[in-house]
Amino acid sequence: MAITAQYKGMAFPFQKKDKEIPATATDEELIKQSIIQIVMTSRNSRVFRPDFGSDAMSFIFENNDAIRAELFKNNILSSLTKYEPRIAIRTVTLGQSDTTLLVNITYVIISIQEERRISLGLPLP
């Protein structure tokens, strides 16, 4: 039995599709795009929603130690919990390559009770 889309909205980034302007996305893709927007948007960067987003971009300029890593993970966790009610966060882990901080987020889509993962790369200064 096919599961119909519960959510429908504009695809991010804004783009044109064959017959749709703008291109649309549904369910899991919208949730994934929302997570990316929340984590990558700096607080105080939106005029009418100054508390939207996370402090992820400011944390990459801080010293790299265990305390900062926990603060960073808690900041992402609280931002996603506040602004993305369609998911339940399981874990937020950090990794690092030479020029990138990797943020790995494991979450459950509440409506279908399925676990998903997303990995975001934040450029290091």
Task: Name the burial class of residue 47, with classes exposed (0-12), middle (13-18) and buried (19+) by CB atoms within 10 angstroms of its CB.
Answer: exposed
CA 17 to chain centre: 24
Q: Does residue 11 form part of some domain?
A: no
Task: Yes or no: say if 108 and 114 are a contact pair by the CB < 8 Å rule.
Answer: yes
Task: Give dist(CA 106, CA 92) in Å, integer.
Answer: 7
pTM of the shown model: 0.81
Residue 6 in domain: no
Let me know if residue 16 belongs to a domain.
Answer: no
Q: How far is the C-alpha of 17 from the C-alpha of 49, rounded, in Å?
A: 30
The answer to whether the CB of 104 falls within 8 A of the CB of 92 is yes
Number of domains forming the structure of the chain: 1
Query: What are the b/e assignments for 89-100, b being 16+ CB within 10 Å?
Result: beebebeeeeee
Q: Is residue 92 part of a domain?
A: yes
pLDDT tens digits, 13-68: 556 666 666 666 677 888 999 999 999 999 999 889 999 999 988 887 777 788 88
Give the structural domain span for 27: 21-44+51-123
- Averaged confidence pLDDT in the chain: 84
